[in-house]
Amino acid sequence: MPFTQRDDCPVVTTSCGPVRGVREDHILAFRGIPYAAPPVGASRRFRPPLPPTSWDGVHDASLYGPAAPQPTTLDFNPQQSEDCLMLNIWTPGTSVPGRPVLFCIHGGGFTSGSGSAPALNGQTFAANGDIVVVTVNYRLGALGFLDLSAVLGADYASSGNTGLLDLIAALRWVQANIAAFGGDPSRVTVMGHSAGAKSIGGLLVSPLADGLFHRAIAMSGAVQSIRDQATSAQLTEQFLRALGLTAATADRLLELPAATLMAAQQVWMRDVRGLHFFGPVIDGHVVTESPLEALARQGASLRPLLIGTASHEAYGFIAGEAVLNPPTEEVLRTLFGQGAAAVQAAYEQRSGRRCGESAPDMDVWQSVLTDAFYRSAALRTAEAYSQAGGPVWLYRFGAAAPQDAGHGSEQPYVWHRGFPAERAPLAHAVHRAWIRFIHTGELGESPEAAGWPRFESERRVVRLFDDTDTYVSEKDWAEAAAFPIQALTLG
């Protein structure tokens, strides 16, 4: 437990007023700082965030703010409220300016999580990398990504992207205020895992995020959760039906208790499988075009990107999601729609077994799901980046046992805490690489390490962060590229 002292923490002046956090060992922590006005009440729910209002006196930034409303309670932060648009900052100090900034977006399938998660505590990056770390809450689930444009009209044209607009508002706040906390607003790296990485996919292609960050780290997620409006309208219709509403009575969503919305969301998600429940929407304003086309259009102006996956992402999902078992043609159609044929062909080629006609090879099935849910989107995003002339590096995190390389397994190594003692050298390598990228946006030759080649169409190099820590050429490219870019959002 870090030593905490409140009175020794300096007061920092923000655009809305002064804040005082706490000193934890040698790091200063500021929690629960509002970056936007509370999106509460019928007039603000499902609407874009407004700028925060000023306060009198010194704001107490010693405690985390509430998490966004979600169907389950978080053990580490049981408070939930629609008044959740707050961020947290860790900094080595406020007197020395110009440190790089890490802006971290939590995961949770766009339906759960919080910037106050213990795994996202910014002390390690602040202490080891001399970095200012920001974590953020944003609206989740129906409150953050339910597209109501077709049923509530023009005022709700961006309702399918309110969660993404929250993140953009937080990045604007960082641009205006982070220098007071010792950060450099011209060196902001956005980083996220799972839904956090898929949110970064939205930020990378949204014109509203231009100039707000300068490099990106996407872990186990890319652009696969960005939906077209035909899909989002279908999901909205299903959600309304779960509440006993229709398009004609959809305005009741503005006044129903958040707990009622979350309860209906939980029931609906249990019954509806195979589609993206939530995620950014191509609405013509926040996201204007399909993501791979948007990356191609940006060309050489693309910001440096570090992207990758774990080697056995789907390992834990196989046991926890009955809909994923076994690999039958019906399951494949439910999960992948028109892309089912490519996934079925991959399973049958790798296993030598027909779907649904013999005992399934579950090891092969999880490898196919790993590729279809995660690896394919990372590869295709990296390929689009490379072809457009953008700087991109690809990694894959592995371990000898599949259970040690499942979804989220790289996080203790990235954040440099909670990893097995015998894997300390690997943890140091991962943490150092992330720190270097946050500082420079580069992973080539350096005094500390050999060069990490960029991912390029001519030589698709991936760094394997496993017990060997080697570079290899990405294999099975044609098969991975044939998988559908969109898949079930699980985390």
Three state DSSP letters for 367-427: HHHHHHHHHHHHHHHHHHHHHHCCCEEEEEECCCCHHHCCCCCCHHHHHCCCCCHHHHHHH
Contact indicator for 9, 20 with CB cutoff of 8 Å: yes
CATH for the 4-271 domain, from 1.10.760.10, 3.40.50.300, 3.40.50.1820, 3.40.50.150: 3.40.50.1820
Cα 131 from chain centre: 20
Using the 8-state DSSP alphabet, how is residue 326 labeled? S
Instruction: Locate the domains of the chain by residue range.
Output: 4-271, 291-482
Contact indicator for 261, 143 with CB cutoff of 8 Å: yes
Residue 276 is a catalytic residue: no
Say which of 159, 194, 225, 376 is annotated catalytic. Answer: 194
Say which of 106, 407, 416, 431 is annotated catalytic. Answer: 407
Determine the CATH number of domain 291-482: 3.40.50.1820
Helices (H), 120-161: 123-129, 141-145, 149-152
Predicted pLDDT at 240: 96
Going from the C-alpha of 90 to that of each of 67, 81, 428, 478, the distances in angstroms are 18, 23, 21, 43
Contact indicator for 305, 392 with CB cutoff of 8 Å: yes
Contact indicator for 380, 481 with CB cutoff of 8 Å: yes
Predicted pLDDT at 489: 45
Predicted pLDDT at 322: 64
Residue 474 is a catalytic residue: no
DSSP characters over 248-309: GGGGGGGTS-HHHHHHHHHHHHHH--SS--S--B--SSSS-S-HHHHHHHHGGGPPPEEEEE
Contact indicator for 222, 303 with CB cutoff of 8 Å: no
Matching residue, tokens 């939906």? 227
Residues 6+ apart with CB under 8 A from 346: 368, 371, 372, 479, 482, 483
Say which of 24, 82, 313, 383 is annotated catalytic. Answer: 313
Predicted pLDDT at 299: 87
Domains 4-271 and 291-482 equal at CATH topology level: yes
Residues 6+ apart with CB under 8 A from 472: 461, 462, 464
Distance CA 277, CA 132 (A): 33
What does R_g of the chain's alpha carbons equal in angstroms?
22
* pLDDT tens, residue order, the chain (491 aa): 344 555 678 899 999 999 999 998 889 999 999 999 999 999 999 999 999 999 999 999 999 999 999 998 988 989 999 999 999 999 999 998 999 999 999 999 999 999 999 999 999 999 999 999 999 999 999 999 999 999 999 999 999 999 999 999 999 999 999 999 999 999 999 999 999 999 999 999 999 999 999 999 999 999 989 998 988 998 899 999 999 999 999 999 999 999 999 999 998 887 655 456 899 999 999 999 999 999 999 988 999 999 999 999 988 887 666 667 788 888 888 788 778 888 899 999 999 999 887 788 988 999 998 998 899 999 999 999 999 999 999 999 999 888 899 999 999 999 999 999 999 999 999 999 999 999 999 997 655 556 899 999 888 999 999 988 899 988 777 777 778 776 444 44
Distance CA 462, CA 311 (A): 12
Contact indicator for 342, 484 with CB cutoff of 8 Å: yes
Query: Nearest CA to 136 among 182, 203, 43, 71?
Result: 203
Backbone angles phi, psi at 452, to 5 degrees: -100, 105
Residue 446 is a catalytic residue: no
Residues 6+ apart with CB under 8 A from 5: 22, 23
Predicted pLDDT at 446: 56
Distance CA 298, CA 211 (A): 13
